[in-house]
Each structure stands twice: as C-alpha cells, then as structure tokens.
A and B are shown apart, each in its own frame.
Chain A
C-alpha cells in the first residue's frame, strides 16, 4: 500500500492545519501538492512568474517542509510557481533554501526542469515532429520561436527519476496535475488505473469532497484500487463527490490523457467504505505512444487600458453608439499621426453593465443604471500603446453623441486615466512532442540547501 497526503489543491490557497497534522501522523509515504495551472492565463508562463504572493508561498511551503521533516518522506510540488517555467522552479528553490536555513536544516532538493528551447521546438514543429491537438491554434514555427517560455508537461516517469535521487524535496517545473500523486504508486507496482484515477481525484485537494476548501485529502493506493479520505473534521468523500470530480476542468469525463497513454474510467466503480471514505476500483490505464504536451506563451503586443464611467441616462441608453464614436475618432488620429491602421493595433471598448462578460454572445444586454467603458489598446510596442491610450483620453472624457449639444464630461476614477498593462501574452501551443526517452526533454539538478 502506498499512502499519499495532499495538503491542498494548490500551494498558496491555504488548508486546514489540524487536518495536515492528522495526515502527517497517519504515516504517508509522500506529500504531494500542485503549484499551478494554466487557468489564470498566459502571463504567468510568459513571464515565468508565480501568481501567488511570495510571502504566502513561503509561509505555506515552510509548514509543508516542517511536515516533511516530521513525516521523513519526500515532499513533491508539481508546476512550481504557477507556470512551471525554469525561472519559477528556481524562485521556489530560493524560498526553500531560505526556509531550510531558518529551520536550521540541511535538505536535499531535486529540481526537475521542464523548460524547452523555443527555437528547438520551432524546428520540431517545422519538421512535423511537434503536432497539434484538437482545438490548437494555427501557429507557425516563426511564431513559436518568439515564445518567452515553452514548457513540456512531465509525467510520472520524470517525477520518479527525481524521487530516485533520494531528495527530501522535489521542486518540479510543469507537470501534469496528476503525475506528482501517481508517480510513487506506479513506481511501487500499484494498480496503474487506480493510480491515475486516484491522482485525478486528489489533484485539487479536498475539492472532490463535501468541504472543498478544507484542502487536505489522503489517498491509499494498492494492487486493485485506491481509497480516498478527506482529513478535515466533518469533511466527507462520497461516491457522488468523487465520481463527479472527473467532470472538473476536463473536456471528457471518462478519459484523461497523460504522457504514455490515457486513463479510462468508464469501468470505474465507486463504493462508500464508511460515511467519509470512498473506494475506487475498475479504472483502466491504456498505454499509448510516449508524447508530452507542450505549452508556450509569447508577447502578442503591449496594452494600455482606460476606464470611464457613464451615468447620464441618455449616454447609458446609447452607450454602444457613443463607444463606436470614440473609437472612430481615435482611429482617425492614430492613422494620421502614428500611421497605424486596424491591422496594426486594436482599440476596443467593452461596456461593463451591457455585455462586457459575453460580448456578442450576450442574450440579455444592458439594463444597468451606469455603464463602465473599459477601453483596451493593444499595439506592437509599449510606446505606441501609450500614445494611443493618450489619444483616446479626450474622447473618453468629452465625446458627445451629437454635434449640437453641450459638451459632456464623464467620470474617470483615476489620474492618469491610462493604465499601462505591459506586454500582453498569448498561449500559442496546444501540441505534443513525442519522446523516445521520457527524460530527453527534461533535466534534474540536485543541490543541498540550508544549514546543518
């Protein structure tokens, strides 16, 4: 039997401290926590930085390192620093070293790097070795080469190699959400279908239970299945909460693709062991060609945003016409003074209170007392975006619906009105890279940090 303790769905989200202590006391074989996802958008991968505060990350990671010292088992984080880029791995390693020194410990850290050279991936794309998944964007090799970061998603093979180094702490770059949980059970010969399925249930911590925010969940793996148990007082896993979790952030509720095959849960049976514990058996692992998924982000332009508020009843009623007028007048100036046309830069106004969330798909636009006009400029350079933002300003402030009316003035919450957003990033890869050797696209570095 292999017991994995998962403190939370992601480092930085918090967890129930008492439940974590109970989990450590229950003698886990490994503590695993996810450090990220693509869910907050491309900027984190583009920049190679974490979404969560350094202080929060350090506080929680320090508690997990203390738990690791008590349990004397490996602590593994996947997709470190939200995006799993090499810089984010090093960022968490630096925090780990600070904590180790503060805790007066010397620990062995294995860093698993998932970063890829964009130029090499571009060549592989051009050679037809990197191939698109369904829904992938049309992307050229030249575009891929401009990525600021490309990562490959590691699976259980690379996590197992990192564990093989005898590390106390494994800081992994981009991995699949499940790999950090499934690796040890698979290494120890547990049922592979159960290993992947239990890992999928546990990857969001206690999300698959009646108390999603409590975080801590324990999964026991063996030769025939796995057993899921949340550890917070009052938290319950039921066949419903556990089986429904296969729906979450997954386009197919029965199939989960991983490097080297896929999980098929169509035969899974869920059984309540008691009022809080669920047993899963019958899931199948279907081996396939070994390929890793790639993610890449690039700078798609520079953005400046501005926000004006319309409260006048007539302007609220005609907000779209007004916004079209603002854009047309600004466009004319941008064309005349900067020589940039609609193909070169984007100038958009989203009307908050009308259809800012759904845009043209909104079936019930409008109805609000006020409208926020969120102007978004995307231009090839930072300087051009700043210039266009300033050209927008007089129109956002004073544009009148008709020529023969007193000049209106709208509300700006800020001065300056323009807010530079810096580079705007885009995801540009939804592709796979086949590998003969799972480690061919990854590397491991082992260091000792802290004080003895």
Chain B
C-alpha cells in the first residue's frame, strides 16, 4: 500500500487562523484524484490528528483534483503546548498515510 504522498503531487497544511488547521491534498490529476478520494478514510484521518471526527470537514474538489480537510488545530496556535506556529508540519500525517 503506497503512501498518499507517493500518489499525490503535494500535501500541505497551514493555519486557517489560530484555531483551525487546513490540509490540502493536491492530487495532480484525475487518476490520482479518483484513487485518493476512493481510498481516503476520514475516520483514520481524524485519528491521525487526534481530532473529533464530528469536527473534521472534508471538501472534494474535482475541478482542482484537490481534497481538503479542515479541523480544529490539534493545539491552539502559540499556546505552551503548541509545537508548530504555522501548522505546516502536520501535513506529513496525511502525506505518510497508506491507502489502498
């Protein structure tokens, strides 16, 4: 089973304000988009981020061949517990996830 990062062109994560995180999977083409949208397991994504599945938002954007996830930040930006001010490091949790 390959990692999503091996199929997609790019996976990035970024703050969407101090309280939300957004993860964009740029599939890079229709074939990769079909494979990734079919293989992605939202519950597994929520688990990887330690997130409440009910708060995980998913957007499938076929015109861009992008899948977008948004969720409350695992830690609020800049709090003592936060490790990643810009939120870019969390992308690897999706990038390195294996799918069928």
**CB pair A363 B96 closer than 8 Å:** yes
Query: Which chain A residues numbered 359 to 408 have a C-beta less than 8 Å away from chain B?
Result: 359-361, 363-364, 376, 378
Contact (A251, B70) CB under 8 Å given A136-B19, A300-B80, A361-B50: yes
A240-B64 contact in complex given A427-B18, A430-B19, C-beta closer than 8 Å: yes
- A38 CA / B16 CA spacing, docked (Å): 10
- Bound together, the chains give a CA A42 to CA B18 distance in angstroms of 9
- Give A134 to B70 CA distance when docked, in angstroms: 12
Of A40, A133, A346, A427, which is within 8 A of B76 by CB?
A427
Indicate whether A43 reaches chain B with its CB closer than 8 angstroms: yes
Closest Cβ of chain A to B81, distance in Å, is 8
With a cutoff of 8 Å between Cβ atoms, the chain B residues found around residue A40 in the complex are 85-86
* A253 interface contact, C-beta 8 A: yes
Query: Could you tell me which residues of chain B, from 28 to 84, have a CB within 8 Å of some CB in chain A?
Result: 48-50, 55, 57, 59, 61, 63-64, 66, 68, 70, 72-74, 76-80, 83-84
Of the residues B22, B50, B90, B96, contact of A250 by C-beta under 8 Å: B22
Number of interface residues of A (CB under 8 A): 44
Q: Mark B4-34, 1 if CB is under 8 A from A, else 0.
A: 0000000000111111101010100000000
What are the interface flags for A329-373 relative to B under an 8 Å C-beta threshold, 1 for contact and 0 otherwise?
A: 000000000000000001010100000111111011000000000
Q: Are A42 and B83 in contact (CB under 8 A)?
A: no
Given A359-B83, A360-B50; A249-B90 close (CB under 8 Å): no
The smallest beta-carbon distance between B64 and chain A, in angstroms, is 5
B-side interface mostly: loop
Cβ of B99 within 8 Å of any chain A Cβ, yes or no, is no
**Is B17 a contact partner of A243 (Cβ separation < 8 A)?**
no
Given A38-B17, A42-B77, also A252-B93 (CB < 8 A) = no
Query: B98 → chain A, closest Cβ, in Å?
Result: 10
In the assembly, what is the distance between CA of A40 and CA of B50, in Å? 23
- Taking a contact as CB atoms closer than 8 A, the residue among B55, B59, B72, B85 that contacts A41 in the complex is B85
Closest to A132 in B: B19
A136→B57 CA distance, assembly (Å): 16
Closest CB in chain B relative to A400 CB, distance in Å = 28
Tell me the complex Cα distance, A54–B1, Å: 51
The answer to whether A244 has its CB under 8 Å from any CB of chain B is yes
Q: How far is the CB of A419 from chain B (nearest CB, A)?
A: 16
- What are 30 pairs between A and B in contact, CB < 8 Å? A38-B15, A39-B15, A39-B86, A41-B78, A42-B18, A134-B72, A135-B20, A137-B19, A243-B63, A243-B64, A247-B68, A249-B15, A249-B17, A249-B22, A250-B22, A251-B17, A251-B57, A251-B70, A253-B61, A253-B68, A346-B80, A348-B80, A357-B84, A357-B89, A358-B92, A359-B83, A361-B48, A424-B80, A427-B79, A430-B19
| Additional 15 contacts, C-beta under 8 A, given A39-B15, A137-B76, A427-B76 | A39-B86, A40-B85, A135-B19, A248-B14, A250-B16, A251-B22, A251-B57, A251-B70, A253-B66, A300-B79, A357-B84, A358-B83, A360-B50, A364-B96, A376-B80
Shortest Cβ-Cβ A-B pairs, 3 listed: A251-B70, A41-B78, A251-B16
